[in-house]
Amino acid sequence: MEAYKQEFIEFMIDCNVLKFGDFVTKSGRKTPFFVNTGFYRTGAQLRRLGQYYAKAIESKFGLDFDVLFGPAYKGIPLTVAATMAISEEYGKDIRYCSNRKEVKDHGDKGILLGSPIQDGDKVVIIEDVTTAGTSIQETLPIIRAQGDVKPVGLVVSVDRMERGQGTKSALKEIEETYGLETTAIVTMAEVVEHLYNKEYKGKIIIDDTLKAAIDAYYEQYGAQ
């Protein structure tokens, strides 16, 4: 596993973003782990988060795209942080764009904030985490309504590696249904590999009991 992936896993724990316990996902699944990017709350944290996203984006898609789109609301700080990191790390000035939940009828009118999306633009979508692939159904029509644009990919922070609407993973379903390439900074398999029965700051994060709960979750919801 690459060093930056290990660093990112520990970074999520330090920020209280990656949690273990009893949770319910947006799709209604009871889960022993949860990722909440709303707990990135400081400038320093967002700067580092943007750097991890930038690394994942460059590794998968390169930098031959025009706009990074972050769906409201959590995608707004993600797209800002990542475009800043791409500029700093790779010297490429990517435009950022997000949507509003409500259309604005005065001043900077419309449903978008940040850069407009123009005919011919290649767009990469950035999200926090995709569990069942439902949010992309709302995001793509917004992007495609802006003109003759090409959505090329989706990047998330963590691939939960569970099935979407069918038996395949949510990210695989997105690839096949919408023709988008997908990637994640880390997968849950990498999280478990890095933390299982290993001390981090004097504590075992994933012990045998938690590992058994994670395994049971994937027996029920894991992608095939």
Q: Each residue of 23-43: pLDDT tens digit?
A: 998 778 899 999 988 899 999
Predicted TM-score (pTM) of the model is: 0.92
Average confidence score pLDDT of the chain:
92
pLDDT band, residue 106 (cuts 50/70/90) = low
pLDDT band, residue 105 (cuts 50/70/90) = low
Q: Each residue of 57-66: pLDDT tens digit?
A: 999 999 999 9
Residue 55 has pLDDT above 90, yes or no: yes
Q: Each residue of 149-191: pLDDT tens digit?
A: 999 999 999 999 988 888 888 899 999 999 999 999 999 999 9
Residue 108 has pLDDT above 60, yes or no: no
What local confidence, expressed as pLDDT, does residue 207 receive?
Answer: 97
The tokens for 135 are 């949010």
What local confidence, expressed as pLDDT, does residue 133 receive?
Answer: 65
Percent of the chain whose pLDDT exceeds 90: 77
What local confidence, expressed as pLDDT, does residue 135 receive?
Answer: 80
What local confidence, expressed as pLDDT, does residue 130 receive?
Answer: 75
Residue 125 has pLDDT above 80, yes or no: yes
**Does residue 174 contact residue 134 with C-beta atoms inside 8 Å?**
no
What local confidence, expressed as pLDDT, does residue 148 receive?
Answer: 95
What local confidence, expressed as pLDDT, does residue 197 receive?
Answer: 97
**Does residue 115 contact residue 94 with C-beta atoms inside 8 Å?**
no
Please say if 203 is a catalytic residue: no
Active-site residue among 26, 30, 104, 198?
104
What local confidence, expressed as pLDDT, does residue 29 receive?
Answer: 87
Residue 132 has pLDDT above 80, yes or no: no
Active-site residue among 5, 26, 60, 106?
106
Please say if 150 is a catalytic residue: no
Among 117-131, 180-194, 206-220, the least confident range: 117-131
> What average pLDDT does range 59-83 have in this prediction?
95
What local confidence, expressed as pLDDT, does residue 103 receive?
Answer: 67
Q: How many angstroms separate the first and last alpha carbons of the chain?
A: 23
Residue 109 has pLDDT above 60, yes or no: no
